[in-house]
Amino acid sequence: MILNRSLRLLLLSCPLKSSPFLLPRRPFSASYPMEKNKAKNGSKSSPFEFNKRRADGFDETGKAKKNLERKTRKLNPNTTAYAQVLGTGMDTQDTSSSVLLFFDKQRFIFNAGEGLQRFCTEHKIKLSKIDHVFLSRVCSETAGGLPGLLLTLAGIGEEGLSVNVWGPSDLKLLVDAMKCFIPRAAMVHTRSFGPSSTPDPTVLVDDEVVKISAITLEPPRSMEEESCSKSGEISVVYVCELAEIMGKFDLEKAKKVFGVRPGPKYSKLQCGESVRSDEKDITVYPSDVMGPSVPGPIVLLVDCPTESHVAQLLSAKSLESYYSCSGDRRKLVNCIIHLSPSSVTSSPTYQNWMQRFHSTQHILAGHQRKNMEFPILKASSRIAARLNYLCPQFFPAPGFWPPQHVTNSIVDSTPSDQDSNLGKSFSAENLLKFTLRPYAHLGMDRSCIPPELTSSLVLDELLSEIPEIKDKTEEIKQLWNKPNGETESNTLLPSCLENIRRDDMEIVLLGTGSSQPSKYRNVSAIYIDLFSKGSLLLDCGEGTLGQLKRRYGLDGADEAVRKLRCIWISHIHADHHAGLARILALRCKLLKGVAHEPAIVVGPRSLKHFLDAYQRLEELDMEFLDCRSTTKTSWASLEGGKEEGSLFSKGSPMQSVFKTPMTDLPCLKNLKKVLGEIGVEDLISFPVVHCPQAFGVVVKAAERLNSVGKRIPGWKMVYSGDTRPCPEVVEASQDATVLIHEATFEDDLIDEALAKNHSTTKEAIDMGSSAGVYRIVLTHFSQRYPKIPVIDESHMHNTCIAFDLMSINVADLQVLPKVLPYFKTLFKDEIIEEDIDDIALEEAL
């Protein structure tokens, strides 16, 4: 049920009856500068102020954005040009590599898998320069990063930017799905294409610099496959043909031999037009006065995900003119970038197809074993390795493939005698280039490949920079040797933690940044590992799968995904759910042919529209449940009881608003069963103040028996989602074992926190302290704080800050706040490197 505006405002202004805070939340008006001045003058504001317009779903101006315009630039065919492998997903194997086709005035990207933005940020590749994005397939592996990319571009500058997005006919399905959370203005330049009606490739771009064409590969399907298969199975071969460069104009020959006087006729001849001689009765042709032209290089990008696609590749008539055996019709292909997986490219059939291109150089950019040896995102990997050295209890060793058995990048650099006319094959490396122009430098260029990073190198750097860190590591070890229940603040250990086992629960913070993925922090995702019982996922921003693989390794991450029983999403902003389709699609694939139940996705109603539309592309195998159906009142109605003192209880103004729809009852009962199977007593959503349909969640474990048969209450974990301080958070967090609360801004940036409906560090801690929370974990930091946020330790006796891949075992909660000072030692020499571009972009988003 969609709330009308008056009901939404009522929701945002009504305190809970049982809340200890009697003051209602006070929205500040459109006169935002007045609030800003108040804060500057030092007057204290109400603890529950918020931005009413933003909470109600409007931006600060209230004006709808116009359709975003495309950039136009003057092009020059005689330009620097290269194709470059962007190694997103190379090490974690979770997404397709991307390829950048670079020209001085144009940029083209092929495939936009998850992590593309984060990768480009680290390697200083300006996404604002991208003109076109081409998808070789339409699925989460190749397009998982597209929603975030479109939103990022739409937030650049006052008017926003847009790109042309090209893909096979399935792209229309993806666009329909993304409309649920991406403004239409950001997607007006999406264009799909089908198979060509002629033997020639379908031309997509044709300008003075390059012609880009597409050849679609769609395997035939039987009647049975037709009835049960999804879209998203069409793949594309892209043909990139650079323009021919005309030969040098012979001025003396034109003037003295052919009698053409200097003037406009010279320009016409250089542009390929014939002219009449000024001194002779003849026609002068361009070939008479121009030197030999330089043919334009040709690059193919090939994506064959299965052997069935290879069969279509072999029979594609559109490719015949590019084969070396095609005689005079032959077009010389200089480079082929293979996006196909190694299981396909190593097959005899595919190898035979490659042999049709004599002297062509091949770059194997699919998932190769060698690519798993070193991390691609080096900045975050370096921090993870340092944190692991300092405190391995909270930062287990990342699950990277061990850096051993390093092979040479050249796979087949010495062809056999019988294949001596074949080109070389290279295993792709991150940022490997193939230079296309200047023509004199045509070929592979390894100069941009970053040096290899190993954990031993990182530790050598650390011990050199901070020699005392070795002693600090020993000090941290001693924290685990103190008697059970002893803490610096003399806070008694909660009864729920009495003799708790390490295989009871662990909180893994996969993403701790806000807005968009950054160099050091990924966006929101929290993995709740219940070990043998199963697992939960709270929020699932872009790149969540990659983070799981960095934490658990390739096989371990697959197991983590297999045992996911429920995924809870706080609100519809992309930094909290853009990785969901990738996780669900992989879980479906991993459990294919195995008896299992669909994953239950709990989220805002608008998320269901996205998932329903997306399932036309890929099977997601999930059940959806509205967050509003998992409130305290909804659960009480399922049990046939009454819930007094609730925002939605009988007699309250909101009584009928969040009544559980009859259609959700079967799924709610199923969720109750699943929770029982994984040892969870309650999963309760509660409304928070951020945007329409924003929620926090309470997860409470079931009681357990100790060794002597005594009943021990279960732990209680609360996650705030994105929110301003509000009574609902305090109410939900009463006596919680752990509160994971967003702390987007430092305390001095209260104005920005108000404007964006986020919380400051102190506000988050105050929420937990007011509710009597045992431990508070701060997360969702603004990306303006690259490594460690600005904090005031004076009020953090029971609090810790989160880092990506931090793993908090419930048995270690008593030690948690004591490690905070050691983090400051680790980052003592770090300066707050505020990136002006990142801050402006974050504010726009």
134-165 burial, b if ≥16 CB within 10 A, otherwise e? bbbbbbbbbbbbbbbbbbbbbbbeeebbbbbb
Cα 270 versus chain centre, distance: 47
Instruction: Give the residue extent of every domain in the chain.
Output: 81-219+231-243+299-367+428-445, 251-288, 457-478+494-643+660-843
How high is the pLDDT of residue 228? 52
Six token digits for residue 719: 């996650």
List the one residue out of 487, 485, 481, 507 whose CA is nearest residue 495: 485
Phi-psi region of 668 (alpha: psi -120 to 50; beta: other; left: phi over 0): alpha
The domains spanning 81-219+231-243+299-367+428-445 and 457-478+494-643+660-843 adopt the same CATH topology: yes
Return the sign of the alpha-carbon dihedral for residues 763, 769, 771, 774: positive
* Residue-wise DSSP of 627-639: GGGGSHHHHHHHH
Distances (CA, A) of 57 to 9, 203, 524, 756: 11, 41, 21, 11
∠ CA 702-707-709, rounded to 5°: 65
How high is the pLDDT of residue 294? 81
Cα 199 versus chain centre, distance: 38
Domain 457-478+494-643+660-843 has CATH 1.20.1250.20: no
Six token digits for residue 400: 């990277």
CA torsion angle 767 772 775 780 (round to 10): -10
Non-local (6+) Cβ contacts of 435 within 8 A are: 81, 82, 441, 442, 443, 444, 445
List the one residue out of 416, 317, 415, 314 whose CA is nearest residue 356: 314
Contact 124, 110 (CB under 8 A): no
How high is the pLDDT of residue 398? 78
320-328's contacts with Cβ under 8 Å and 24+ in sequence apart are 320/199, 322/239, 322/298, 322/357, 323/356, 323/357, 324/356, 324/357, 324/358, 324/359, 324/360, 324/421, 325/356
Q: How many residues are recorded in the chain?
A: 845
| Domain boundaries 81-219+231-243+299-367+428-445, CATH class | alpha beta
Q: 837: how many CB neighbours lie within 10 A of its CB?
A: 11
Q: 677: how many CB neighbours lie within 10 A of its CB?
A: 12
Distance CA 361, CA 762 (A): 58
Cα 645 versus chain centre, distance: 40
pLDDT tens digits, 170-194: 999 999 999 888 887 777 789 999 8
List the one residue out of 536, 537, 529 whose CA is nearest residue 556: 529
Sheet strands (E) in 474-588: 506-511, 525-529, 535-540, 564-568
Six token digits for residue 682: 């309650």
Six token digits for residue 453: 């990073």
Non-local (6+) Cβ contacts of 270 within 8 A are: 246, 249, 286, 290
Distance CA 760, CA 49 (A): 12
Query: At 55, which helix (H) or strand (E)?
Result: helix 52-55
Amino acid at 638: L
Six token digits for residue 55: 């909470």
Distance CA 714, CA 683 (A): 13
- 775-779 and 799-801 beta bridge pairing: parallel
Collapsed DSSP state (helix, strand, coil) of residue 520: coil
Contact 484, 347 (CB under 8 A): no
List the one residue out of 104, 137, 108 whose CA is nearest residue 299: 108
Q: 400: how many CB neighbours lie within 10 A of its CB?
A: 22
Return the sign of the alpha-carbon dihedral for residues 107, 112, 116, 121: positive
Six token digits for residue 456: 């031993």
Q: Helices marked H in 231-306 — which ranges?
A: 251-252, 264-270, 286-289
Amino acid at 844: A
Global pTM? 0.86
Query: At 122, which helix (H) or strand (E)?
Result: helix 116-122
Distances (CA, A) of 750 to 77, 159, 763, 795: 51, 27, 9, 17
Q: State which residues of the chain have pLDDT below 50.
A: 1-24, 28-45, 60-64, 227, 401-421, 485-489, 642-658, 831-837, 839-845
CA torsion angle 56 62 67 72 (round to 10): -120
